[in-house]
């Protein structure tokens, strides 16, 4: 009897491991920055490049930093959701316009809607490096003390908003 | 011949990269830019490439930062170059990158509790295999000993062999 049970057991174990392996997404690299202070930066604003935005201005509020670009196709997927979220007024969304050109970025916002309180122009991607950005879109939830509490890699979905992001924001605002 | 093979391999890797991009819903800029030609300071460039060789490009994950043509790798090479110009040591630069991208950027993962399975897993499997094999062989030996002949069977065989000798 064990003659058949042993190989079967081993087979099942291997299948389980394979199953787990297949459901993991190798693109989603956990960020070491979660629960660490968000890197401080000062950058020109996208709409008015005479004005400077400093991330320190947001101390005291819970906010979202959404990294986007007009060349990023996946950003179009999540964009309607962000526009909707900004209408609800639950959380201020700030946009980090990553390695983009100003005029195309502005045109893109006109076309698809502008959910951002302020858009910040990270033209050479240096702030992106400090935030560990490696694929766009990425979204950070930052708390009142300026600590990164969550990083979402890839387009925000209804599911990720409902399961993770909104409950977290409510808890942080609490 | 080997040159051709290497070229073929590169083409295949390139194709796979493009395929991966098409499949991924994210916007990765894999083939955006050629690596810029060697900077003004060849020694620094060499040192940068040596370091980048052991770092993973997070966009094309099977390429090193030195070898990847992704825009992302380009930016990080620039970052490394600038930090080297600012007299940072290799370790400081690696710490800088690990703080932002995690251990995943390292091709040589550090030894710590979360990587114990990675480092010692193969050894555990090997020892498990040796234990199973020893157990199996011991078990089999006792089985073989148990199945030795009874006195009656031995006599039967002897008489059969005698009969055969007479023929």
Structural domain including B96 reads 30-110
**E strand segments, A13-74:** 42-44, 52-54, 63-68
Contact B91, B78 (CB under 8 A): no
What ipTM was assigned to the predicted interfaces of this complex?
0.82
Q: Are residues B162 and B104 in the same domain?
A: no
Q: Are residues B120 and B57 in the same domain?
A: no
Alpha-carbon distance B25 to nearest alpha carbon in chain A (angstroms): 6
- With an 8 Å Cβ cutoff, are B79 and A72 in contact? no
Helix (H, G, I), strand (E, B) or coil at A106: helix
- With an 8 Å Cβ cutoff, are B27 and A73 in contact? yes
- Count the neighbouring beta carbons within 10 Å of the beta carbon of residue A77: 16
Burial A98-112 (b: 16+ CB within 10 A, else e): bbbeeeebbebbeeb
Taking the Cβ of residue A31 and every Cβ of chain B, the question of whether any pair is shorter than 8 Å is answered with: yes
Closest-approach residue (CA) in chain A for B132: A6
- With an 8 Å Cβ cutoff, are A135 and B104 in contact? no
**Position B8 in a domain:** no
pTM over 0.80: no
Q: Are residues B40 and B99 in the same domain?
A: yes
Tell me the per-residue pLDDT of A150-170, one tens digit each, with 9 for 90 and over: 999 999 999 999 999 999 999
CATH 1.10.10.10 fits A34-173, yes or no: no
Q: What is chain B's pLDDT, residue by residue, as a tens digit (167 residues)?
A: 455 656 666 666 666 655 555 455 454 444 444 455 555 788 899 999 999 999 999 888 889 999 888 888 999 999 999 999 999 999 999 999 999 999 889 998 888 888 888 899 999 999 999 999 999 999 888 877 776 778 888 899 999 999 888 76
CATH number of residue B44's parent domain = 1.10.8.640
Stated as kind and residue range, the H or E segment containing A152 is: strand A148-153
**Position B143 in a domain:** yes
Which string of DSSP letters, residue by residue, matches B66-87? TT--SHHHHHHHHHHHHHHHTT
- With an 8 Å Cβ cutoff, are B26 and A136 in contact? yes
Alpha-carbon distance A108 to nearest alpha carbon in chain B (angstroms): 16
**Position B160 in a domain:** yes
Query: How many domains are there within chain B?
Result: 2
Instruction: Give the separation between CA B102 and CA B106, rounded to whole angstroms.
Output: 8
């Amino acid at each position: 009897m064990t003659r058949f049970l042993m190989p079967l057991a081993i087979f099942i174990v291997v299948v389980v491991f394979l199953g787990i392996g297949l459901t993991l997404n190798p693109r989603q690299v956990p960020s070491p920055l979660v629960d660490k202070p968000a890197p401080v930066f000062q950058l020109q604003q996208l709409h008015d490049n005479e004005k400077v935005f400093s991330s320190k201005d947001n101390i005291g509020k819970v906010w979202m930093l959404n990294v986007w670009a007009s060349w990023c196709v996946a950003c179009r997927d999540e964009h309607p959701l962000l526009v909707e979220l900004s209408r609800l007024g639950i959380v201020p969304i700030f946009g980090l316009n990553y390695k983009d050109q100003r005029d195309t970025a502005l045109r893109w916002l006109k076309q698809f809607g502008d959910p951002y309180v302020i858009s910040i122009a990270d033209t050479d991607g240096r702030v992106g490096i400090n935030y560990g950005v490696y694929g766009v879109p990425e979204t950070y939830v930052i708390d009142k003390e300026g600590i990164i509490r969550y990083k979402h890699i890839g387009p925000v979905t209804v599911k990720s908003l409902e399961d993770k992001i909104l409950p977290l924001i409510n808890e942080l605002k609490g | 011949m080997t040159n051709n093979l290497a070229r073929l391999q590169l083409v295949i890797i390139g194709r796979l990269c493009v395929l991966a991009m098409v499949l991924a819903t994210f916007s990765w800029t894999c083939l955006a830019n050629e690596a810029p030609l060697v900077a003004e300071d060849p020694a620094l460039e060499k040192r940068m490439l040596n370091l980048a060789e052991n770092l993973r490009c997070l966009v094309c994950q099977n390429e090193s930062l030195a070898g990847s043509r992704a825009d992302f790798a380009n930016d990080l090479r620039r970052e490394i170059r600038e930090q080297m110009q600012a007299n940072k040591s290799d370790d400081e630069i690696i710490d800088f990158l690990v703080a932002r991208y995690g251990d995943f950027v390292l091709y040589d993962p550090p030894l710590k509790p979360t990587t114990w399975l990675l480092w010692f897993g193969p050894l555990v499997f090997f020892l498990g295999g040796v234990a199973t094999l020893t157990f199996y062989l011991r078990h089999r030996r006792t089985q073989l000993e148990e199945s030795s002949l009874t006195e009656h069977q031995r006599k039967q065989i002897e008489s059969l062999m005698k009969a055969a000798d007479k023929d």
